[in-house]
């Protein structure tokens, strides 16, 4: 089946630094990818929709200047957490829909960010 | 997207069938029922989806009632590795999926 891969799986950074998370669709092209965030013992919350070649669409309450999304190719979207703070510590998960095949939404393995 | 209601937790004996219910009484005619599961500290894993007919694959079966207001995910022979949070989600298949609280399934040895 379709595979979505994220990197890194875990990252620890100091407060004030920026962290980039990559999301790749390995065997299909994804014009749209979705970024979710999950805090401990909570469900996944949609942060933004990443559109190839255009600006991302952010959900209400998500700061676009803090969470920079770039979708420069049909197989890669990146999420950059700028000036990270401890409250940004979370599990970030990307997903992509394989429109060319079954249309199902596949998820990456997730990236756990810890900000010290 | 229509909202779903699932029990917060369920237990199942290893080797027995696990039947996970989901209510989606406000589902629209063009909305699918999707099931995903999330094992601790991993991304959600796709299980199955359907529109109105029952569906079966190598992982599970999906039974959708005739009025489409509820469905049941069946894991025919649960194993310890099936312990996870199971999410029932309703959507059109064109946008992102909205996750609810899900059902925490604990398979007991």
pLDDT (tens digit per residue) in A17-61: 999 999 999 988 888 899 999 999 899 999 999 988 889 999 999
Find the mean pLDDT for residues A7-21. Answer: 96
Query: Are the Cβ atoms of B43 and A105 closer than 8 angstroms?
Result: no
Q: Does A2 touch chain B (CB under 8 A)?
A: no
Q: Which of A45, A91, A106 sits opposite B46 (nearest CB)?
A: A106
The pLDDT of residue B82: 97
pLDDT of A66 above 80: yes
For chain B, how many residues are written? 109
User: Average pLDDT, whole number, for chain B?
Assistant: 94
B46–A43 C-beta distance less than 8 A: no
Burial A51-64 (b: 16+ CB within 10 A, else e): ebeeebebeeebee
| C-alpha to C-alpha distance for A16 and A108, rounded to whole angstroms | 26
Contact A44 B101 (CB under 8 A): no
Mean pLDDT of A99-108: 77
**Residue A101: pLDDT band by 50, 70, 90 thresholds?**
low
Give Cα B108 distance to the centre of its chain: 19
Chain A to chain B Cβ contacts (< 8 Å): 46
pLDDT, average across residues B67-80:
97
- What does the pLDDT read at residue A102? 64
Put simply, the chain A residues between 57 and 96 with a CB less than 8 A from any chain B CB are 91, 93, 95
* Cα(A92)–Cα(A45) distance, integer angstroms: 10
For B33, the closest chain A residue by CA position comes to A104
Task: Mark yes or no for CB contact B96/A49 under 8 Å.
Answer: yes
Counting residues of chain A whose pLDDT is more than 70, the rounded percentage is 94
Q: How big is the CA angle at A52 (ends A47 and A58), to the nearest 5 degrees?
A: 20
CB-nearest partner of B96 from A46, A104, A112: A46
CA–CA gap between residue B79 and residue A90 (Å, rounded)? 29
């Amino acid at each position: 089946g379709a595979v979505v891969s994220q990197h890194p799986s875990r990252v620890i950074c100091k407060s004030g630094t920026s962290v980039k998370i990559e999301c790749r669709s390995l065997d299909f092209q994804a014009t749209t990818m979705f970024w979710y965030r999950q805090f401990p013992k909570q469900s996944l919350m949609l942060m933004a929709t990443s559109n190839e070649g255009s600006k991302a669409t952010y959900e209400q309450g998500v700061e676009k200047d803090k969470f920079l999304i770039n979708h420069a190719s049909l197989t890669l979207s990146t999420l950059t957490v700028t000036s990270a703070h401890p409250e940004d510590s979370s599990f970030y998960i990307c997903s992509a829909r394989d429109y060319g095949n079954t249309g199902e939404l596949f998820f990456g393995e997730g990236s756990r960010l810890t900000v010290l | 997207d229509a909202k779903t209601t699932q029990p917060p937790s369920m237990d199942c004996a290893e080797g027995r069938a696990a039947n996970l219910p989901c209510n989606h009484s406000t589902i629209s005619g063009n909305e699918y029922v999707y099931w995903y599961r999330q094992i601790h500290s991993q991304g959600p894993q796709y299980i199955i989806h359907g529109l109105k007919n029952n569906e079966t694959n190598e992982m599970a079966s999906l039974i959708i009632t005739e009025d489409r207001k509820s469905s049941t995910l069946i894991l025919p022979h649960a194993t310890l590795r099936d312990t996870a949070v199971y999410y029932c989600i309703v959507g059109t298949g064109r946008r992102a999926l909205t996750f609810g609280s899900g059902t925490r399934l604990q398979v007991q040895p």
